[in-house]
Structure 1
């Protein structure tokens, strides 16, 4: 059975996000994940962002999986596997009305997104 570990909740917003991180690859700003222990990420998308509209409108729950291809097999895929940055690959599926992000890290997350307050060893 595929192991899934909760990672975050993503909430789209039309508001500009202060002190946000920017993903040039996916053309969106994110804020909150590193600043709070509750794993809530606010997302603001650029006007020319090409992601499916449902990702830009509907909150999602994200899980880390060991095998991304196996996790999406037979699922209703909204966004096929894509790498927003080196070391992580993500995909989005729709499970009923629930938007789910599945993530796979090729290396420890703290090496992908170094942040002094998030990853306690």
Structure 2
């Protein structure tokens, strides 16, 4: 079962409070500080993220088991271990990028 987590919106300018993720070459805001659960993303040239994510943003959901959630899915990125508590992957559904997050 998926639980809504946040929405990723692409921007062309670095937003206040954004931090740089060097591995993904993207500036990110903290969606947990947004009353509407919005994460702003400003990608730098050379990002490894798929064009669907870089150009259109994404909807993110937490899942209890990422491996199970990815079965029969159209995986476009990952899985990627972010830290000891978070593993993510992006899939494509209905022409949109969907981020699946397993939080331990």
- Normalising by structure 2, we get a TM-score of 0.89
Query: Matched residues in 1 for 2:65 and 2:30: separation?
Result: 27
Distance 1:27 1:84, change over 3 A: farther
Aligned partners of 2:52 and 2:96 also within 8 Å: no
C-alpha deviation, 1:24, in angstroms: 2.3
Out of 52-61 and 79-88, give the one that drifted further. Answer: 79-88
The offset of 1:50, in angstroms, is 1.5
Choose which of 45, 48, 60 in structure 2 pairs with 1:47.
Answer: 45
**Gap regions ≥5 residues in structure 1:** 107-121
Judge conservation of contact 1:81–1:90 (CA < 8 Å) in 2.
yes
Give the match for residue 21 of structure 1: 19
Q: Greater CA radius of gyration, 1 or 2?
A: 1
Confirm or deny that 1:81 pairs with 2:79.
yes
TM-score (norm 1): 0.78
Partner of 1:103: 101
Question: For residue 56 of structure 1, what is the aligned residue in structure 2?
Answer: 54
**How far is 1:12 from its partner?**
1.4
4+ residue segments displaced more than 4 Å: none
Deviations 1:17-68 (A, max 9, x none): 2221222222211125143221011101121211111111112110000010
Residue among 47, 50, 64 paired with 1:66:
64
Give the 3 Å change call, closer, same or farther, for CA 32–105 of structure 1 in structure 2: closer
